[in-house]
Amino acid sequence: MKNHTKTLRFRLMASFSVIIIFCILLTSILGSVYYSNAISEQNMTYTLQLLEQVQSNMDTYIMATQKHMSALALDKTLLDYMRLGKICDENIRLNLETELRQILTDNANVLTQVNGLLVSCENGRYVSNEFYRVTKDPLNQEQWYQDAAASPDHHHIFSKPIRRNLRNWKKYSNNDVVMLTTAVLDPIDGKLLGTISVDLKLEEIEVFLATLKLGQKGTIFVMDEKGEVVYTPLNQQVYRVRAEWFAGESKDPFVTRIGSDEFTFLYSVSDNTRWKTIGMFLTDTPPANVVTMQEIMMLVAVVSLALGIFLALILTKTITKPIFRLQQLIMQAEKGDFTVHYEGRDSYDVDMLGNSFNIMITKIRALLSLVVEEQKNKRKAEIDALQAQINPHFLYNTLDTIHWMAKEYKATDIENIVAKLSNLFRIGLSHGNEFITLQDELTHVECYLYIQKIRYEDKLNYSVTINPSLLALTVPKLIVQPLVENAIYHGIKPKKGNGQIILNIYEENDILCIDVADNGKGIEPDKLEQLNISLKNRQKGMGVGLFNVNERIAMHFGETFGVTLSENPGGGIVSKLRCPIFPKQQ
């Protein structure tokens, strides 16, 4: 047995050792070959190409918007509005202004990269789908307007559109946009009519640049022709960069020190915007292709380990297969299939377990046969007992006959008690229905209490409290009388002196609450606790009436409902029945 264990351990250890050595050797060889081919110049070329691509994307992004603005400057409605003098027909102005604002709104819906459009006229008027003027100062006095008016043949870009006499309804920050402005000239006489401006979102530039990284502490950022940073990812080193470092057109990289770190810089200049796309990274940072090589090495290592795990699974499967087969048989037996049988054809250890399992299954089958036979005998006895009972319909009809005879002979006491007893049986039968109204259930209990009052006279007193709105609810029949009977026979009857039963029916959190309290003899705390445990576990170690009520409530509404017992502060016991609110059945 011990030798067999050592053999398994040796096979597993030998297999994993081969896999680990294979992964280490393969990763080391590939890493060494790839690392020897990494060239720093190639990394510089790649970085510069990346910067040029970023610059090209930004130029395309901005130029597309500028072309749209140029086309909008030729719109007839826009030109008609901008040609209006300071004094004009108010209706014409309002109609043109409404049409132009709709045109701007439609253009803004098409240009998803634009936050808002603004048309500013030389005469001081303006129309926008997004902007509104903060003060009454005319917009044609703003610096951005003056710059565009001074050079009407060029598009103007303002990378930091702050301190404008403008606000926007979307409440976005001016740091999140750049302002594009172009002058509008009258196609007829070339006269300056005003400007068209848009706030261009930086979101797409941010998304594109945020995915690019140049090694440790490296980043790509954009600087305008004035040396202002247009956009940068979160990097504190960028704001320590000086604009004069990039004064020339050279694309050659240069190295400079910022604080305690030495950085390499490369940049590309846009012919359209004159913006500079700048890349900076730590000079001693491993080249990008070396980083890529490391990632490839990791990938190879993961693949090798996965292959090793796969081989190990194949190896261990041959060992664990017989145990797994025995486990499946046990799970079948756990689900109630006791016809399973283990056929021994594996190792000695597993065969021993299998034989023990077969013996256990044989004994379980024998015990089940015995239980089934006992249940059959019990059921037969119950049927025999039921057949021996008096037919309740016959008894009810006989009581009804006695009632009318007593009435005929004016035997009032007998008439009343027989009437109550007759009602008791009538409601108990209830045409075979399992559910009755709470009104009928209460009538049934009051009939029972009337009869018991005749029997016990002054020793038994009772009161019933109920909200009349609850009387139409439907409840399982005969659930209250057993609780009252239990209170009389186990509480009031053994008590010396007069007894009191209080029946209180109310609603609480959509739950029907029925409390039967007595001031009788009471129950010892230990016995009371044991009774509640039996009720909770649905055991028959208690009165038949209480068990039947608790069992029926749990069967209809779930085990969260039923009967509990507690001490009555005034002496005696309180039986508490809880079931859900159940409207009257049609």
Mean pLDDT (whole number) for 409-421? 71
More confident residue, 516 or 165: 516
Last residue of a domain, one of 155, 181, 204: 204
Q: pLDDT tens digits for 52-109?
A: 787 788 888 888 888 888 888 888 989 888 888 877 888 888 898 899 899 888 888 8
pLDDT tens figures, 154-209: 888 887 787 888 888 887 777 778 888 999 998 888 899 999 989 888 777 777 77
Specify the CATH number for the domain of residue 496. Answer: 3.30.565.10
Q: What per-residue confidence (pLDDT) applies to 4?
A: 46
At 537-581, the pLDDT tens digits run: 877 655 677 888 888 888 888 888 999 999 988 888 999 999 998
Residue 365, domain member (yes or no): no
Decide which of 531 and 30 is more confident. Answer: 531
Domain assignment of residue 288, yes or no: no
- Mean of the per-residue pLDDT values of the chain: 78
Kindly report the CATH number assigned to the domain that includes residue 200: 3.30.450.20
The DSSP code for 432 is: G
Structural domain boundaries enclosing 440: 433-580
Q: How many domains, the chain? A: 2
The pLDDT tens digits for 236-258 are 677 778 777 877 666 677 888 88
Q: How many CB atoms lie within 10 A of CB 231?
A: 20
Strands 460-466 and 499-508: parallel
In percent, the amount of the chain with pLDDT more than 90 equals 10
Going by C-alpha positions, the residue among 262, 274, 212, 211 that lies closest to residue 237 is 262
Under the banding of pLDDT at 50, 70 and 90, the label for residue 287 is: low
Assign 432 a pLDDT band (cuts: 50, 70, 90): low
Degrees, nearest 5: CA angle 390-457-466: 80
In a domain, 421, yes or no: no
Q: How confident is the model at residue 385 (pLDDT cuts 50, 70, 90)?
A: very low
Instruction: Decide the pairing of beta strands 166-168 and 229-231.
Output: unpaired
Q: Model confidence at 381, in pLDDT bands (50, 70, 90)?
A: very low
Quick one: tokens of 192? 């300056």
Position 555 in a domain = yes
Indicate whether 284 pLDDT > 80: no
DSSP 3-state assignment of 435? strand
User: CA 572 to CA 516: how far, in whole Å?
Assistant: 11
Query: Which pLDDT does position 387 carry in this prediction?
Result: 42
- Of 155, 188, 204, which marks where a domain is finished? 204
Report the pLDDT value the prediction gives residue 505, as an integer from 0 to 100. Answer: 94
- Name the helix (H) or strand (E) containing 121: strand 114-121
Query: Cα–Cα distance between 81 and 72 in angstroms, integer?
Result: 13
- 404 belongs to a structural domain: no
pLDDT digits (tens, 9 = 90+) for 49-59: 777 787 788 88
188, part of any domain: yes
130 DSSP assignment: S
% of the chain surpassing 70 pLDDT: 77
Q: Mutual orientation of helices 288-334 and 40-72 as an angle, nearest 10°? A: 90
Q: Could you give the C-alpha distances from 85 to 48, 88, 92, 93, in angstroms and in order? A: 53, 6, 12, 10
pLDDT at 305 exceeding the cut of 90: no
Does pTM top 0.95 for this prediction? no
Contact partners, residue 200, CB within 8 Å, separation at least 6: 61, 62, 65, 113, 114, 115, 177, 178, 179, 180
Of the residues 138, 171, 204, which one is the last residue of a structural domain? Answer: 204
Q: Bridge partners of 119?
A: 127, 196
DSSP string, 261-315: EEEEEEEEE-TTT--EEEEEEETTSPPHHHHHHHHHHHHHHHHHHHHHHHHHHHH
Query: 220 in a domain, yes or no?
Result: no
